[in-house]
Amino acid sequence: MKRLIYAATISLIALSAGARAAPAPDIAARVERVLKATPIIDGHNDLPWELRDRFDSKLERIDLRGDTKALPRPADASPFWQPLMTDIPRLRAGRVGGQFWSVWIPTTITGPAAIQTTIEQIDLVKRMAAKWPADFEMAYTAADVVRIEKAGRIASLIGIEGGHQIGNSLPALRQMYVSGARYMTLSHSSNNDWADSATDAPAHHGLTPFGLAVVREMNRLGMLVDLSHVSPETMKAALAVTQAPVIFSHSGARALIDHPRDVPDDVLTLVARNRGVVMVNFFPLYVSEATSRWASDRAAEQARLSSPPFAGVYIGQPDRAKAAMAAWDTAHPMPATTIAMVADHIDHIAKVAGVDCVGIGSDFDGIPFTPQGLDGVDKYPALFAELARRGWSDTDLAKLAGGNILRAMREAEAIAAKLQATTPPSSATIAELDHPVK
């Protein structure tokens, strides 16, 4: 459902996944050698919400050991329905050794309901690991990830994708850490009560005093601060207060495409000083300027044809609006987004922030379509082959694959150990910090 929210915004049409020419044998062998020694750790995959939305969280209704590309299309499916991008055979083929599973919930769910729904999603991830123990094992530390990878399983980690999910409660944040969450995105697609989103009008101009307290408490816990989805002001506010490396679990380079979901160069320089990691997103609207403009133009045309309640050339005439939109689609095909374009974002981040500060954060199963040749979790080696052709060394490919995020996790864990020795859990509340009684 999360990826259908993107689709509802721009009414996307399907993009066929064209294959890039196979890498030369020596390149393929290099990539295989690198990823065998340092498997990929992906910063963001939204499969848990897809399992909730499609299968009512009932794992007996889906077998991830099978090919989820072959799932039958329901009779009442949305026009934008797609098969899943993730399953165990494809994770294995993609050389994935660790996966941060997003426990995203919609921003419309707030307060106690948000806490409950988040706990349900955390439980779903743990049930995935329990149902397929030959392939998945829960991980809570960098050492866990390495141990699990060496045992031939996929380390399953948990990331919370929006600050609204803690219900403005530091005790709830702490209990989510105890339950296994190892990063939290400070906001999602809209502002919350203490952090501004990249895709909403500024309300706080960064972080409120309570938002700063959240970052400090995350440092004390050892929970990574995730700055994907937040505004540049929020990025800078968090980077100014954090003692531990931050991550961007699924973002790109704004210098290549002026989209607010991507990271500006001045922030990338701060990330370098912080020793953080920007994990590159595959969503074409954040990768390709042409695709992003196409989506904006398409959304504008759809609004022109049928925007309620008063405007719209064919308002109240859905058949005519649908036909006109189909004609527009034929005349304006979606531009192609390629593996090379994703590699451009990786190259740019490595150039500005350093090769120690870049990783992979696909957003698979949270996006409605993908770049050509990157249509599922089996395709990561093709991206690494592209970078190898560009001159990336084996050492730097290994850092990108998983070395950088493991280093950031270790540093966050070490800082947390020091803070816990001297700093008690925060008792701060949003009322006393952001709305003090005068």
301 is catalytic: no
204 is catalytic: no
Instruction: Report the half-sphere exposure of 81 (CA within 13 A, side-chain side).
Output: 13
Give me the catalytic one of 188, 204, 345, 348.
188
Cβ atoms of 283 and 85 within 8 Å: the answer is no
**Distance between CA atoms of residues 306 and 308, nearest Å:** 6
413 is catalytic: no
250 is catalytic: yes
**Distance between CA atoms of residues 369 and 168, nearest Å:** 33
Cβ atoms of 282 and 371 within 8 Å: the answer is yes
259 is catalytic: no
Give me the catalytic one of 164, 204, 226, 250.
250
Give me the catalytic one of 229, 259, 345, 348.
229
Cβ atoms of 127 and 58 within 8 Å: the answer is no
Burial tier of 289 (Cβ tally within 10 Å: 0-12, 13-18, 19+): middle
Cβ atoms of 30 and 38 within 8 Å: the answer is no
DSSP string, 358-421: EEE---BTSSS---TT-SSTT-HHHHHHHHHHTT--HHHHHIIIIIHHHHHHHHHHHHHHHHHH
Give me the catalytic one of 149, 161, 344, 375.
161
Give me the catalytic one of 193, 226, 363, 375.
363
Backbone angles phi, psi at 134, to 5 degrees: -70, -20
Residue 96's DSSP bridge partners are 40
Kindly state the helix (H) or strand (E) to which residue 122 belongs, with its residue range: helix 111-131
Residues 6 or more apart in contact with residue 73 via CB below 8 angstroms: 81
Residue with tokens 């009779």: 75
229 is catalytic: yes
Buried b (16+ CB within 10 A) or exposed e, 69-94: beeeeeeeeeebebebbbbbbbbeeb
Would you say how long the chain is, in residues? Answer: 438
**Distance between CA atoms of residues 435 and 438, nearest Å:** 9
Q: What is the dihedral of CA 258, 184, 249, 393, to 10 degrees?
A: 130
**Distance between CA atoms of residues 198 and 210, nearest Å:** 19
Q: Kindly tell me the sign of the dihedral angle through the C-alpha atoms of 191, 194, 198, 200.
A: positive
- Give the three-state DSSP class for 79: coil
- So which residues are the catalytic ones? 44, 46, 161, 188, 229, 250, 363
